[in-house]
Every structure is written in C-alpha cells, then in structure tokens.
Amino acid sequence: MRVRDDHDGRPHVVIIGGGFGGLICARELAGELVRVTLVDRSNHHLFQPLLYQVATAGLSPAEIAVPIRSVVRDAENVTVLLAEVTGIDLASRRVVLRDEDPLDFDYLVLAAGARTSYFGHDEWAHVALGLKDIDDALEIRRRVLLAYELAEHEDDPERRRKLLTFVVIGGGPTGVEMAGAVAELSRFVLARDFRRIEPRATRVLLVEAGDRVLSAYSPELSTKGLKQLEELGVEVRTGAKVTHIDAGGVHLGTELVPAETVVWAAGVRASPLAETLGVKLDRGGRVMVAEDCSIPGHPNAFAIGDIACFPGPGGKPLPGVSPVAMQQARSVAANIVHSVTHQPREPFTFLDKGSMATIGRSRAIAEMRGIELSGFLAWLAWLFVHIWYLIGFRNRLVVMLSWCWSYVTYKRGARLITGRLFTDGAATVADPPKRP
C-alpha cells in the first residue's frame, strides 16, 4: 500500500509546489490533525530572489537551494513526493501525476508558481533565456562566461562586439538585478583576467517597454534606481518595445541590437496547471481566488502565490512576490485547520512590509512602510533581509562569507562553465540550450 493512499482518518492535504507558498504551508501544517503530501517536480526549494546571483557567478546553486525533504524532515505528518503534476480534477478531488497513480485529496493547496512567458513568442526562448530555476541560471552563467572566452580569441571586431553585448529585457527587479550584476562582473571581476578584450568595454543594455524602470516603486525611487544603474555603466532604454529576437540579436522596431547573450525578464505567466482546473483565470493565467484564497465553487481547494490572482487594495491584484505567497500560505494553513476543527474561516489580508531591489554591490532601492531608501543604506537593508530569510543556517553563513569575500577581493567563486563544451563540435553561445 502506498503511503499517500494510507487512510488513518486524518484529512489529506495535497500541496502542489515547494516554493515559498507551498513550503511555508507544509511547515504550518506540521503537527496538525491532517496528513500532508507536498508534490514538487524538483527536489529542492529555491530562494528565487538570489537566483540572479547564480546566473552571474556570484553564488553556487547549493547556496540558494535546499532539499525540500530536509526542510520538513521533522514534520512526521508531511510526505514529500518528487513527481510532476499533469492535471487537477476538482470535481473528483484528484491530482493527476505523470507515470504515477493519482493522488486523492480532501484539501488542495495549489502553489505551482509561474514560469517565463514570451507573450506568444516562444520561438524567442532559444535566444532570450528566462530566469526561473537553477538550470536557467546555470545556462545563463554558461553563456555569459563563454561569451567572454569566445570574444578573447575572436578576430572580427564586429563579432567581438556582438559577443560582448548583453541585453536584458524587462526593467522590473529581476531585470535590474541581472543588468547590474552583469555590469559588475565585467567591470570588476573579469577586468584583469583577459589579455586581449577589455571586459570593461562590455555593453549591457536594459530594455524596458514602459516609461521607467522599477515602475512598481515611486517615480523618485525609480529615478534613483536608474541613476545607480547608469553609474554601473548599464545603458537603459525605456519606451523601447522588443519586436523580434533571433540569433542576430534583439530587434527594437527597425533597430537591430546585435547581441549574443539575451536575458528575458519581461514577463511571467502562471503555471499551465491553472488551465486544467476549468475555472476563471485572469489575463496572466492566474486563478481568480475568493477572499480566503479558495477557488470559487471549491471551498476546499486553494490557490496561493504567483498562480493566484488576489484583489488587493483598490482591486489591484497583489504582486507576484514571496511575501504575498508566504502570508497566503499561513492564512490557508490556518483556514484548513479551522475547517478540520469546525471553526469559521478568516479572510486573507496582506500586510505590506515593503519591497526592495538591488542594483549591484552597495547599490539598491527600498521602500518600507512609506519610508524610501536608496544607495548603500538600502543595499544593507537588502542584504540583511535576504540573508535573514535564506532557509537553513549553513546557507546563511556560507552566503555571507562568499559575499564578504567577493566584496573585499572583487573575485567571484562560481565562475564555472559546466556542460560538455566540445563533444559535438565547437561551442557557440547561440546554441539552444539542450538539457537532460
């Protein structure tokens, strides 16, 4: 008999996704009168806010990821299942898995998150890489580092310029962090390592379709963010719409920016699992949830985090950030316990503690309950909050140490190009990513 089909009388809660929402929900349900199955298609929880650091060789994957099993090892009523969910049948309360027996649930918490969206241009994916998981980050790291290596022994100046042009599309926090980190990598870390090319001459272009970067912040903070980006040498183009991306580079209307490495941070869309529910979704593919985060018509099924659309103040949906997911997770866990113990549910309310974006070593902007910070102070706040929330003590310590070391020496520890380079011919950075 399978553990997840065991019936000991306790209601069965199935949580889909081991991100911030799913993991916090499982931890909150530890020791409660339910049995929990946490399903994820990866074995690790990822601290996504620092993923850009892996993509730019500042941190190693293991420094920002932790095995889900370790996090819930002491929660005896929680079982972790490494499997891919292919569909959800709300009517028969059943989760369908790939190549596995389905899971029956009494309560469902859908926390499957979002993935990179190219707004209908999936053919751009080969050139413009998204940044959502460790494999994405390692592929970006590989391409960025390889671009310098190829530029170092490239004779054609045009081709060399193309290799040393990095375009980041999307001026939100992820795009700004990526652009800042690539600029720093070039100017400080790689500067002395090459003989022929001048890594400082790297062109980092940040393309934003709207009229300002970091538009979730006030115009003043946004301007301060822009200024800090420009100090790092990032070229910012606002009001620039990407019309096409191919091996030649990024097309902005009639203008072609020749670039070998393109990072796509312009948009995400909810996990396609939402589409299998047969309920109303918003334009971003997110489930329109009720005030207790339940799926309308299915009071025992909840959606939280990036896969849910929850109307915040003024009816504007809450943003897809980790504090929303974590607070929703706590609320949903509490409401499941309330239901099991026949108590009334409580509606979810979001407490906005602020948000921050880093622009590079000692540069950032932050907004906390009406207080706006920028520059070094904002960066210190960012550093403190991010290390604080890293799950697992070892990670915190190791990450802190890695950063202190990089800060003092301008070295980066994780500058590895992995994956066979020369098995089937010479490496070219325009190769589409092939993965196992």
Q: Which residues are catalytic?
A: 177
Give the number of other CB atoms < 10 A from CB of residue 69.
Answer: 16
Stretch that binds a second copy, among 66-74, 180-188, 335-343, 344-352 (CB under 8 A): 66-74
Say how far apart CA 6 and CA 101 lie, in whole Å.
13
- 414: nearest Cα among 57, 75, 50: 57
Say how far apart CA 208 and CA 101 lie, in whole Å.
45
Cα 50 to the center of its chain, rounded Å: 8
Binding mask 98-117 for a second copy (x = CB under 8 A): xxx-----------------
Closer by beta carbon to a second copy, 69 or else 251 = 69
Kindly report the length of the chain: 436
For residue 283, what are the CA distances in angstroms to 88, 114, 395? 20, 13, 37
Burial (CB count <10 Å: 0-12, 13-18, 19+), residue 121? middle
- 262: nearest Cα among 156, 191, 175, 159: 175
Q: Which of 44, 93, 269, 286 binds a second copy (CB under 8 A)?
A: 44
Closer by beta carbon to a second copy, 9 or else 425 = 425
Does residue 35 touch a second copy according to CB under 8 A? no
Does residue 192 touch a second copy according to CB under 8 A? yes
Structure tokens belonging to residue 410: 């301008």
Does residue 198 touch a second copy according to CB under 8 A? no
Closer by beta carbon to a second copy, 91 or else 408 = 408
Are 44 and 380 a contacting pair, CB within 8 Å? no
Where are the alpha helices (H) located in 46-104, listed in sequence order? 51-55, 68-71
Does residue 67 touch a second copy according to CB under 8 A? yes
Number of residues this chain uses to bind a second copy (CB under 8 A): 67
CA 213-219-225 angle, to 5 degrees, is 50
% helix / strand / coil in the chain, to the nearest 5?
35, 25, 40
Does residue 7 touch a second copy according to CB under 8 A? no
Does residue 317 touch a second copy according to CB under 8 A? no
Structure tokens belonging to residue 193: 């390592």
Question: Least distance to a second copy from the beta carbon of 75, Å?
Answer: 10
Binding mask 397-426 for a second copy (x = CB under 8 A): xx--xx--x---x-x-xxxxxxxxxxx-xx
Q: Which of 89, 104, 106, 149 binds a second copy (CB under 8 A)?
A: 149
Q: Which of 200, 241, 280, 394 binds a second copy (CB under 8 A)?
A: 394
Where are the alpha helices (H) located in 194-298, listed in sequence order? 219-231
Number of H helices, E strands in the chain: 10, 26
The DSSP call for residue 199 is G
Question: Least distance to a second copy from the beta carbon of 277, Å?
Answer: 20
Closer by beta carbon to a second copy, 37 or else 322 = 37
Does residue 27 touch a second copy according to CB under 8 A? no
Question: Least distance to a second copy from the beta carbon of 304, Å?
Answer: 22
Q: Which of 31, 33, 73, 278 binds a second copy (CB under 8 A)?
A: 73
Does residue 155 touch a second copy according to CB under 8 A? yes
Closer by beta carbon to a second copy, 210 or else 419 = 419
Positions touching a second copy (CB under 8 A) are: 2-4, 41-44, 60-63, 65, 67, 69-70, 73-74, 79, 81-84, 98-100, 134-135, 138, 145-146, 149-150, 152-153, 155, 192-196, 394-395, 397-398, 401-402, 405, 409, 411, 413-423, 425-426, 431, 433-436
